[in-house]
Chains A and B, each alone.
Chain A
Amino acid sequence: MDLQLPIFYFFATILVAAASLVVTLRNPVKAALALVLAFFSAACLWVLLEAEFLGIVLLLVYVGAVMVLFLFVVMMLDINIAQLRSGFGEYLPIGGIVAALMLLEMVLVLGASGFDLQGMPNPAPQPADYSNTRALGMLVYTDYVYPFELAAVVLLVSIVAAIALTLRKRKDTRYQNPAEQMAVRRDDRVRLVKMPSEAKRESGR
């Protein structure tokens, strides 16, 4: 038995425990932090599978960006936890049945010939100086450049869509137009009024 197996079980146990905490913890902030732990353990498993790039991306994108944003949202919104939790026991039976069925189906499909260890053997381990980030980059920018660019177009469309659907010019907000502010002349703002000088009145008698 080599060292890989205990390491795998170590991270896998933490992953499963953290994932169950995500759904059972009462405090949403703690649940989000448990999700961070789950992502971190999953990233460690990726690294163990010699997929460093995926592990690093999982940390950078999910922990670094998505979860931070998520925590912000959870903290900013005033969520009524008791109300959120009220359906938990009620939906547990049906949710449990669905989960059990899905597990069964996955075992049946994945256990079928073709996906077992004979059908999908371990790939040969790469030498220590092998960089799969480099290999991935090579593939993405050469063989897979067409779908890669298409993915970029899909992102562009989603940007256009998000702006087209949400940008509203509100009439009741006050805008500053810096260009207009810069172009202002003295004559627009200052008005010199000529008035005849008056003698100072004696006041207070």
Chain B
Amino acid sequence: MEAATVKAPPPPPKPGKQPTGAVEGSATWRLTDRIGLAICWGLGLLFCAIAIAVIVYLFIQGITYLKVSMLTTPASAGFEQSETGGFSDALIGTLMVAFLGILIALPAGIAISVWLVEYGRPAALARITESTIEAIAGIPSIVLALFGTVIFSSTALAFLSRSTEGVVFGRSFFAAGAMLSLVALPLIVASVREGLNSIPRHVREASYAVGKTKAATTRRILLPTCRPQVATGAVLGLGRIIGDTAIIVVLLGATQNFGPVEGAPFPLNYLRGVGTTLTNFVYEASPTGNLNQPQKAYAAAFVLLVMVLILNAIVDVIHRRARRVGTWSS
């Protein structure tokens, strides 16, 4: 019994495998810990491999099938792939919903975060707001889309889409952009809140202590300080928006071309009209979709992937820039 309680001395490190410097070697760890570490390593490498495989495969497919003409010609009906045109409408549509969605989500997200972190009273309301945003983050976008059809088909919101003889169509760039902003909102709120929370309390107080109001402090100190997090949230939100399919399929009118509303002035006729995005095009052009032209699906998916990768690169650059300004010692 007594022998069991006595701890065995750690095995002498094997020659040649001695840890150097501050790096802790795992040679002396317990077997289970070492297995755990190996699993972590393995999973990390596995996911790297999957990501690289997707990217490389899509790059090869994309470069093979993508023609510049696809970016400039809209989709059209035809029996041969050579007759069906490209996906310029989808590309522009993606940019439009991204712009509309972020136009709504960014100011709203910043405002909600500022209220939650800087004011947050009454506390009960703040808690409810928090859980509401978490709930929105968890709602599948197809459910949001269905909900959107109900809202935007109401007569009061007829000016946001096409209506014929009093029947509101309820599908438009406005409708899709508004619902897509809900998809981006939780990401923006999470990022901006994290930014605001990372600012030490005494920095706010330093601003109050020279006679600044809370509003002035927020505008001139707090928000500029979390510019990187605001940008990160916006870019992550953009990524979600351009990647979303369900809302587009349901709320943008299941078409492959712009369908502007006649009689409305220029930008409004397109925004109130229906259209498509790259995700919708990929979905329809894939073997299960109505168009079934996988080569063009690959080409469009490649364009989509490039957009997302550029957004990720932007996030990286923002963070690197932010580090240059320095931060407070804690």
| A and B interact | no
